[in-house]
Chain A
Amino acid sequence: MASTRPNQLFRNKSAKIAAIPMIVTALFVFVGGTIWTVVYSFTKSGLLPRLKWVGLDQYERLWATRKWLVSIENLAIYGLCMLVLVFVIGFILAALIDQKIRFEDTIRTVILYPYALSFVVTGLVWQWILNPDFGVQNVVRGWGWESFTFDPLYNADIAIYGVLIAGLWQGSGLVMVLMLAGLRGIDQDVWKASRVDGIPAWKAYIFIIIPMMRPVFVTTLVIVVTGIVKIYDLIVAQTGGGPGIATEVPAKYVYDMMFQANNLGQGFAASTMMLVTVALIVIPWAILEFGGSKRHD
């Protein structure tokens, strides 16, 4: 009699077998690696990992280091500005292109192109553009404005904004295409209805269209935020963390500690702090988003 219910574990067998390598990788590499890192952040590891417990020493040292504090501050400034500006610029560009303009393909390609470049190339390009001797400052002075000064990468107070410009130049294109895809997915009849209702275009965007694009915004947010937290190569290529320690960021601090200062324990502690920060942001959001997922349509 086939009336007994088949064991749930053996349903979709082939799919489950196919997923095993990925599950194993995820468990061992991501989860295992993470736990290992957290554990060793409580040790006095130097050049090599050693299980010599020092309690919270590494963390106390971390939070007493000026370079780390500057890194955190830079990440906050860069992250906040990047997040706001990349969304504003990306969305406005997408909204402009969505007006069925001519040469749309060309413009889209030109704006998306920077995203295809490596951060290292972007960093170098903008290092030149912002260099007072070759770049913008030089060009404007060549036009006759002799006192013009624009050298963000050489001024410790604003150097991080020089990096921000490069980051925006590279990131806006991606946000734009994602937003454009979202805008193109909007039923044209909704636009027509809003026009019959007499809603001005900007109001229609804010109160009708953007709320309808929520899924696109969430996806874009995840991509942009992960890009911000792990920013490293742009800094290395563009400023090397300088002038002084003016453009240091947490990921670079971790790398420097682990592979240049031969201080693994300190590097692990810094990475753990980054993980905790991300978790503090992601977990409440995930609970909000997926916790009551049954109510979504």
Chain B
Amino acid sequence: MKNSVEIKNLDLQFGAVKVLQNLNLEIGKGEFLVLLGSSGCGKSTLLNCIAGLLDVSGGQIHINDRNVTWAEPSERGIGMVFQSYALYPQMTVEGNLSFGLKNAKLPKSEIETRIKHASEVLQIEPLLKRKPAALSGGQRQRVAIGRALVRDVDVFLFDEPLSNLDAKLRADLRVEIKRLHHKLQNTMIYVTHDQIEAMTLADRIAIMRGGQIMQLGSPDEIYGRPVNKYVADFIGSPSMNFLDGQVKNGAFQVGDLTIPLDGYDFADSSGSAEGPATIGIRPEHVVTGELVENTPFQIEVEINLIEPTGSDTLVDCEVAGHHFRVRMDGQSKVSVGEKLRLGLAPSKASLFDAKTELRL
């Protein structure tokens, strides 16, 4: 697959503050890449560098095999959608869509065709004569997407486009963006701090922290094989359970428990490890009931707290002195103080070095 966007050794600093350092990223043609990270980690900064809205301090940016490091945003072949919609409030929807095109001196018929196409795709035809103030949040964001669409470009940049919408609309528009990507098959770079958005939309996710990419991989990889403890903790809700202990003789020891590690896929090629470590177990990977009998490791715990969420029930308990959460089916009949048998499969767990926090 040819690359659509290539970022090479990118540096960006505001005065003395280095926000991005030596960042490398390659995004394939037609790929949906999500930049995910907590607030302030430099996602928007990276996106603005790609768009050309910030001058980089070092490194290069290539879009469609062209070095655009110093090109104007409008010459990079990108369209961008902002969290605050950033529509031109005094123009109608049609004016918003056509202003850039008119300015680029496109023929009238061409402008009309593009607006017609974009408004059909986004279902905003009835809104064309309205001003942004007369639109709902979801409609405004559709218009903003339309403004990127009419530019007829290969790369779309989204900066938290759904963050200003309420939960229901967010879910609806998320599906619509996914559908749009299927239909257009163009490259999309999408910034968000919402892991559900990232997991559902992305072909690949780049987890960012402190201006660096911690892990770049498919949602499955990120979820199943997080490269370090930060990523493991960041992805998944409710978050992963961590138990601090030792890896010794192919087993994990925490307190007086010994969890066998047969079937665990060590990152090291020797297929083993020794020493202080942390084991991470996702609440949804712990089994209960009859299934427990088939798991290599079993334990009995006392239930401390129950959080029913409808579809699931979260059970809080204690394992070897550590707080531990288990996800059970929403229909499970359990109550506080009861004993519960848990079973877990080491193949689904993650081990991290206690010092470096890297995956073992």
Contact = CB atoms under 8 A, between A and B. Distances in A.
A212 B80 contact: no
A207 B151 CA distance: 19
Contacts of B51: 192, 196
A197 B147 contact: yes
Interface in B204-249: none
Interface in B113-127: none
A197 B100 contact: yes
B104 interface: yes
Contacts of B75: 198
A132 to B, nearest CB: 49
B169 interface: no
Nearest to B132: A297
5 contacts: A193-B80, A193-B144, A193-B147, A199-B99, A207-B99
Contact of A190 (B88, B104, B133, B134): B88
Nearest to A204: B88
A198 B134 CA distance: 26
B82 A189 contact: yes
B74 A197 contact: yes
Contact of A193 (B48, B52, B82, B90): B82
Of B75, B79, B88, B134, chain A has the most CB atoms within 10 Å of the CB of B88
B50 to A, nearest CB: 11
B84 interface: yes
Contacts of A199: 99-100, 103
A189 B79 CA distance: 13
B31 to A, nearest CB: 21
* Dominant secondary structure of chain A at its interface with chain B: helix
Interface string B51-93: 1110000000000000000001111001110111111111100
B150 to A, nearest CB: 10
A-B pairs, top 6 by smallest CB distance, nearest first, are A198-B74, A197-B100, A211-B90, A189-B86, A193-B86, A297-B133
A260 to B, nearest CB: 51
Given A187-B84, A207-B99, A196 B104 contact: no
Nearest to B81: A193
Contact of B103 (A190, A203, A211, A214): A203
A196 B80 contact: yes
Q: Classify chain A's interface size.
A: 10 to 19
Contacts of A190: 86-88
B73 A196 contact: yes
Contacts of B151: 196-197
A194 B75 CA distance: 13
B82 A192 contact: yes
Contacts of A200: 103
A184 interface: no
Interface residues of B, number: 30
A193 B52 CA distance: 11
A198 B72 contact: yes
Contacts of A212: 88-90
Contacts of B52: 195
Interface in A139-193: 187, 189-190, 192-193
A187 to B, nearest CB: 6
A187 B144 CA distance: 15
B133 A195 contact: no
A195 B134 CA distance: 25
Given A198-B72, A199-B103, A297-B133, A192 B84 contact: no
A236 B133 CA distance: 49
Contacts of A194: 88
Nearest to A192: B53
A162 B282 CA distance: 80
Contacts of B87: 190, 193
A31 B72 CA distance: 59
Contacts of A208: 88, 90-91
A192 B48 contact: yes
A103 to B, nearest CB: 16
Contacts of B74: 195-198
Contacts of A187: 84, 86
Contacts of B100: 196-199
A242 B173 CA distance: 70
A15 B99 CA distance: 49
A177 to B, nearest CB: 23
Contacts of A207: 88, 91, 99
Nearest to B134: A297
Nearest to B148: A196
Contacts of B79: 196
A189 B78 contact: no
